[in-house]
Amino acid sequence: MHTNEPFRLGIIGSGIVAALHVKAARTLPQVEVAAVCDIRTDAAEAMAADAGAAAYPGHREMLAAERLDGVIVTSPHTLHAQQTLDVAAAGVHVLVEKPMGTSVEDCTAMIEACRTAGVTLAVGHVMRFSETARMAEKVVSSGELGPVRAITHRRSARYSRDSRPAWFFDPALAGGGIVMNVGTHGLDRIQWLGGGEIETVHAHVWHRGGLEIETDAIGVAELSSGVKAGFTFTTAAVPYTDETLVLCEDGSLRWSATEGLWVSRDGEAEARLADPDEETADAFAAQLAAFVESCRTGTSPAVTGEYGRQVVSTVLAIYEAGS
């Protein structure tokens, strides 16, 4: 592939997050959304019309008909594995949405299929690409607050039947509830800022409203770096909460999706980034640009399949500990 040719992108699933990827692609001159698919053909056609792409009723039809450079998998969680295998078998690079899969075995099969095919496998832990994330990581790694000792993370996401597409409530398609879905973002953040992998976890997981998937989880974890972590994922927190507190030896860092990034030291608080409102779109664009760069240069993506698998394995450990 010549780098001055557009990177021809296909998207599996034409739902909520696919629209964010299309929007991101629009900001990148090197990327052309060539094709989209969805079993809901009306959704695929509407997205295709918006993106100037071709629409297909399924990913196999799309892969057979199109010459694609990369595909983003944005379907329900348990479908990620087989679709990734099919994309890899077609010799096409893959960016798979979080959670990478819903079992460690599936994730391993995805890693091996992409390795065998010689294609890039990246996992969509998109928060890594936000400006707040970059700045938070800079503060932590600069050592200005001393070593990290502990991290707490709280996140809300509404889990009621009227709040999101029906498949999120079906274990056969979602593979889990709030932890499998938004918990993966928080676990990524804890591990990234905590400088290690979660090794042990104690948790309590429960279901509300008669739902089969969990709506709430709390727990504590210990990382390979020695950092201790606590987390709360709940359907019940209103207003929206997405906040991480990094407790360091000489102060703390507060990362809030609604109130920005703060550093606290000696009783004084200083805003490092006050307005995170616009950054979701920028993070999706930065993630897509990095994916294209990895595909074109053959360099390892920022979020690898091995890392995505480790996050899935932590989600499953939380389920086991919490049951």
Ligand X SMILES: NC(=O)c1ccc[n+]([C@@H]2O[C@H](COP(=O)([O-])OP(=O)(O)OC[C@H]3O[C@@H](n4cnc5c(N)ncnc54)[C@H](O)[C@@H]3O)[C@@H](O)[C@H]2O)c1
Interface residues with ligand X (CB under 6 A) are: 12-18, 37-40, 43, 58-59, 74-77, 79, 97-98, 124, 126, 165, 181
The smaller minimum CB distance to ligand X, of residues 65 and 271, is found at 65
Q: Shortest distance, CB of residue 58 to ligand X, whole angstroms? A: 6
Q: Shortest distance, CB of residue 74 to ligand X, whole angstroms? A: 4
Q: Shortest distance, CB of residue 145 to ligand X, whole angstroms? A: 27
Looking at residue 299, the DSSP 8-state letter turns out to be: P
The smaller minimum CB distance to ligand X, of residues 247 and 316, is found at 316
Which tokens in the block code for residue 74? 């944005």
The smaller minimum CB distance to ligand X, of residues 168 and 251, is found at 168
The smaller minimum CB distance to ligand X, of residues 15 and 171, is found at 15
- Residue number of the CB atom closest to ligand X: 15
The smaller minimum CB distance to ligand X, of residues 248 and 292, is found at 292
Contacts of 200 (CB under 8 A, 6+ apart): 221, 222
Instruction: Provide the b/e sequence for 104-130 (b: ≥16 CB within 10 Å).
Output: eebbebbbebbeebebbbbbbbbbbbb
Q: Shortest distance, CB of residue 183 to ligand X, whole angstroms? A: 11
Contacts of 143 (CB under 8 A, 6+ apart): none
**DSSP state string for 12-43:** E--SHHHHHHHHHHHT-TTEEEEEEE-SSHHH
Q: Shortest distance, CB of residue 113 to ligand X, whole angstroms? A: 18
The smaller minimum CB distance to ligand X, of residues 37 and 289, is found at 37
Q: How far is CA 71 from CA 83, 152, 153, in A?
A: 10, 35, 32
Q: Shortest distance, CB of residue 266 to ligand X, whole angstroms? A: 35
Q: How far is CA 85 from CA 64, 117, 121, 180, 312, in A?
A: 14, 10, 11, 21, 18
Q: Taking a C-beta distance cutoff of 8 angstroms, is the pair 138, 273 a contact?
A: no
Residues 295, 182: Cα–Cα separation, whole Å: 27
